Structure 1
């Protein structure tokens, strides 16, 4: 009896360890993403010079104390242009991925719940849209209606909505066969309730991971469009446009090309690493 009480007191004294294990890589990635987000928000207040001002008569100026990242092909400060370019790269990509994921996930869950002709017709239509290469579709849309920030957001959202739809539909179809969904349908719950309260909670984790990956894809596609001259128009520029407009000086003024490329790489790689190192809840493995 004494031994039993001693073991019980020992177990009660041992603290339970519930929580999330956050890896160093995930934490560093999150800090980099947070830093670029803050830069995008406060860029006009922290940029040393206005985005279009020529501040150096020596084009492709070297890195110096006055210009920490050098100057571009017109003598504009690269640090200011990279900081202000973060507003367009991060802002446009985030807006586009939010629209794409909202539309794709909503349509995917709706198709899974309704099924029948609605599911088949919507799936075939979005499959046809998926069959068009993303860059070609973006070039066609932008060439047809012109270039502006709202058009870029809508174009990128249209391109990535089918992928979000197929991913969400595949998850929702599996959840839709669960017993608790069948019970909810049997007691007369509507489509909106099934989607909001039964399907969405079961797929939210994978959808958030897919959200991060789509964000990376959109950043790279936006940079590609800007490199082709169909992105943000001068004097404003996102990071892809900064690489494109300074590519002619790569052989003798590499900083003007390398630093925007590093900005793109740090953002996209950090998002990928954060997704790969999402914190996982660890169960208490102490003796009971």
Structure 2
């Protein structure tokens, strides 16, 4: 299916992805303000069925599921977004510097990243969170540091490809500083793959945080988050109830929406490059 936008025929996913992201950002910013009830407010019996007052029913403690979905959006999305931003703030500059400097700084950085990436990220996170606890700063910092190794590797590879181009060689021969090279030559040309990686990293981190919360090591009570809501209400499946499916569906919807936007952005850039060759 497709639709026409300003004379261009676009696939339905081109509209669906941005709509999902817009709705997600709205819930992230205003979810707690529009939630009918508090995230810990008990309003009825456990696992009450959906009604006009509670469209998604009640959870295992008698709390309104719709309200907890609104409250949980801020925590689930906020933790993931903060971790991704920090990982890029660490990995991108270090990757660019390693590519520009070369020599032993590049070799040492690359080998350290290889060592960290040789251990599955889930195992590394479980060890750190078990040792230091699952507070929000520890959770965000742990995920950000682990993800920064992946970002470092991508930024380094992309920067290495840029530094051998003629315009970068000319700038180096002119005696431009490292900061100037990063700001004027490397970063503008590295933005497309980095932006695509940002979207993919967010999806991975979003699912990773939900998985940790499901295991009891992610976002902790009294904060509501979607992964924890799936864990708390999973027993409802045994009784034919749909309570755990609502947060699980929200997790899937956000992930699909971000992936569609990333795919569309990459496809649009490829088409633009083909038209301008």
Q: TM-score, normalised by structure 1?
A: 0.88
Unaligned ranges ≥5, structure 1: 1-17
20 and 79 in structure 1: CA distance in 2 versus 1, 3 angstrom threshold? same
Match of 1:127 among 109, 114, 130: 114
Match of 1:35 in 2: 23
Deviation at 1:105, TM superposition (A): 1.3
Name the counterpart of 2:3: none
| Equivalent residue, structure 2, for 1:55 | 43
CA contact 2:236–2:242 (8 Å) conserved in 1: no
Tell me how far apart the structure 2 counterparts of residues 134 and 106 of structure 1 sit (CA, whole Å).
22
Shift of 1:103: 1.3
Report what 2:173 is aligned to: 186
Q: Does 1:271 align with 2:258?
A: yes
**Distance (Å, rounded) in 2 between the aligned partners of 1:93 and 1:45:** 21
Task: Please tell me whether the aligned partners of residues 19 and 282 of structure 1 are also in contact (alpha carbons under 8 angstroms).
Answer: no
Q: Distance in 1 between matches of 2:42 and 2:134?
A: 25
SS in 2 for 1:250: helix
| Alignment counterpart, residue 184 of structure 2, candidates 197, 203, 206 | 197
Partner deviation per Cα, 1:161-216 (whole Å, 9 max, x = no partner): 11111111111101010111111111111111111111111110011001000000
In structure 2, the gaps of 5 or more residues are 1-5
Note if 1:107 corresponds to 2:94.
yes
Partner of 1:6: none
d(CA) in 1 for partners of 2:57 and 2:118? 43
Matches within 5 A, 1:5-20: none
Distance, in Å, in 1 between the alignment partners of 2:87 and 2:241 is: 36
More relative contact order, 1 or 2 (CA 8 Å, 6+ apart): 1
Structure 2 residue corresponding to 1:89, chosen from 76, 93, 101? 76
Q: Please report the TM-score for the alignment, with normalisation by the length of structure 2.
A: 0.92
Indicate the residue corresponding to 1:13 in structure 2.
Answer: none
Q: Does 1:228 align with 2:215?
A: yes
Range that drifts further, 258-267 or 230-239: 230-239
The alignment yields a C-alpha RMSD, in angstroms, of 1.9
Task: Assess if the C-alpha contact under 8 Å between 2:90 and 2:148 holds in 1.
Answer: yes
Aligned match of 1:207: 194
Q: Is the 8 A contact 1:62 1:253 kept in 2?
A: no
Q: Which residue of 2 aligns with 1:242?
A: 229
Report if aligned partners of 2:80, 2:205 keep a CA contact under 8 Å in 1.
yes
Aligned residues: 267
Q: Which residue in 2 is equivalent to 1:219?
A: 206
CA contact (8 A) 1:89 1:239 kept: yes
Kept in 2, the 8 Å contact 1:59–1:74? The answer is yes
In the alignment, what sits opposite 1:9? none
CA distance in structure 1 between the partners assigned to 2:147 and 2:112 by the alignment: 14
Deviation at 1:123? 0.6
Aligned mates of 2:157, 2:9 — CA distance in 1: 29
Corresponding residue for 2:245? 258
2 CA distance for matches of 1:68 and 1:85? 17
Work out the CA distance in 2 between the residues paired with 1:225 and 1:19: 45
- Specify the alignment match of 2:148 in structure 1: 161
Whole-Å separation in 2 of the counterparts to 1:273 and 1:62: 33
